[in-house]
Amino acid sequence: MFDLVDSTIFFASYGNVFGLSNITISSFDILLAYIVTIIVAVLVALALKIPLLPGKPYRYSFDVSAIYPTPIIAIGIFSIFLVLNYTFMYNGLVLAVVIGVLSALFVKYLFDFVFPKPLNEDNGEDIDE
């Protein structure tokens, strides 16, 4: 498993296959940017009053929280930018902060519109806890 993670980070830091980019960043910079993205997304989500954990029972809860899906969306969007070889300034740290803030705002205000809660099987209404 660690070989897969290491090779993935190495490939993302190596540069574009087609030679469209002559600037590469190191594996440490990529890991640092991912960590910054996760921390900023969680902190901004907590500042926006998103709960840290979803409602109980955790397994069947469709509530958004600061732990899930906020950082997952943030690192997914940041990964797309890394694959496209766009890191902006300071080896991707500024982009990591911007994506962390925007993903927290997305989860707070738009997540329920894009991904609605499933219908209750008993009476055909949305599940509200």
pLDDT value of position 41: 97
- Amino acid in the structure at residue 37: T
The predicted model scores a pTM of: 0.76
Contact 87, 81 (CB under 8 A): yes
Domain extents in the chain: 2-111
pLDDT value of position 8: 60
pLDDT value of position 51: 92
Regions in the chain scoring below 50 on pLDDT:
16-20, 22
pLDDT value of position 14: 57
